[in-house]
Amino acid sequence: MPKPRHRQVFVNEPPKARRAVFFWAAGVALGAVQVLGLLIPPGSLATAFRATTPAASEQGVASWYGENFHGLATASGEPFDMYGLTAAHPTLPLGTRVRVHNLENGRSVVVRINDRGPYKYGAIIDLSRRAAGVLDMVREGRVPVQVEVMPDETRVGP
């Protein structure tokens, strides 16, 4: 006859009575936050936590990405299209349009930020394959660039 299986007890696991008290207290705290949230006018919080205006211009290294990510979801939710004029930037709001200047050959392209990155190599922006082609940087992979945020009226999205 097989031995009955016992529930494994972990060293840091609190007893069930303590767990119930914890969840009750957490529920009360969340309820209090909700009630207090109703007493604070929404406009006062909006002004306190307004997003800062992104830098108008920055210089650094640009890289590009293409085939390995083609069709995968971007941070904006749309599928990545390596043939589109899009880019990934770590902090600019999604939908922001930026002009990227290749400092080696003087070419420039306007791209829309629709993803987050780059995550490697110290680059400040990751361009789609097509945008890299316009800047004539596909072969090099990484080039020095200047990134300028376009005026608000050219932005797309919220």
Give the tens place of pLDDT for each residue, 119-135. 877 899 999 999 999 99
> Which residue shows structure tokens 């119930």?
20
User: Is the model's pTM score more than 0.85?
Assistant: no
User: How does residue 73 score in pLDDT terms, banded at 50, 70 and 90?
Assistant: very high
**122 lies in a domain?**
yes
- Average pLDDT taken over every residue of the chain: 80
65 and 120 housed in the same domain: yes
- At residue 48, the pLDDT reads 46
90 and 128 housed in the same domain: yes
Cis peptide before 2 (omega within 30 of 0): no
Q: Name the residue range of residue 88's domain.
A: 57-154
80 and 145 housed in the same domain: yes
β partners of residue 57: 148
**10 lies in a domain?**
no
Q: Who's near 9: CB < 8 A, 6+ residues apart?
A: none
- At residue 26, the pLDDT reads 76
140 and 66 housed in the same domain: yes
Instruction: List the CATH number of the domain containing 90.
Output: 2.40.40.10
83 and 126 housed in the same domain: yes
d(CA 35, CA 31): 6
Q: Who's near 41: CB < 8 A, 6+ residues apart?
A: none
Q: Lowest mean pLDDT: which of 15-24, 45-54, 77-86, 110-119?
A: 45-54
148 and 74 housed in the same domain: yes
39 and 88 housed in the same domain: no
Question: How would DSSP label each residue in 34-53?
Answer: HHHHHHS-HHHHHHHTPPPP
Domain count, the chain: 2
44 and 61 housed in the same domain: no
Domain boundary among 48, 65, 91: 48
